[in-house]
């Protein structure tokens, strides 16, 4: 197992490693942990990714915090926040648009109730 601060290259192949940052035209990562990936094409297999920004991303048996891209393919993977106009694979949204509105409305109502109960008058 290797630990590295960052990789910057045209093409990066990473296996069984822990990497803070990858910046490359193309990145293929297997059985690793990566904090941040910025690439044109990403293929990740059995990887944990904090944040990925790629034109095309393919995740297999992986987990990611945030994935942003033009096209994202997800197979047996979990993504907390996925921002992509084209997505393929079995994707389940954690927070949908109606859920986000409900969460915002609930926060607003709870804040108003707390303000009235605890006398937080602002003028």
Task: Inform me whether the pLDDT recorded for 9 exceeds 80.
Answer: no
Q: Tokens representing 111?
A: 């804040």
Q: Which whole number is the average pLDDT over 79-102?
A: 86
Tens digit of each residue's pLDDT (9 = 90 or more) over 15-56: 999 999 999 999 999 999 999 999 999 999 999 999 999 999
Confidence category of residue 8, pLDDT binned at 50, 70, 90: low
Confidence category of residue 10, pLDDT binned at 50, 70, 90: confident
DSSP code string of the chain: -EEEEEEEEEEEEEESEEEEEEEEEEEEEES-EEEEEEEEEEEEES-EEEEEEEEEEEEES-EEEEEEEEEEEEES-EEEEEE-SEEEE----SS-HHHHHHHHHHHHHHHHHHHHHTT----
């Amino acid at each position: 197992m290797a630990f590295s601060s960052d990789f910057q290259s045209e093409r990066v192949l990473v296996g069984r490693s822990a990497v803070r940052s990858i910046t490359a035209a193309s990145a293929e990562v297997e059985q690793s942990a990566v904090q941040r990936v910025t690439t044109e094409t990403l293929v990740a297999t059995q990887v944990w990714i904090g944040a990925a920004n790629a034109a095309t991303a393919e995740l297999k048996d992986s987990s990611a915090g945030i994935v942003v891209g033009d096209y994202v393919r997800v197979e047996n993977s979990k993504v907390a926040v996925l921002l992509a106009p084209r997505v393929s694979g079995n994707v389940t949204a954690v927070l949908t648009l109606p859920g986000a509105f409900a969460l915002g409305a609930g926060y607003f109502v709870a804040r108003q109730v707390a303000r009235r109960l605890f006398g937080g008058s602002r003028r």
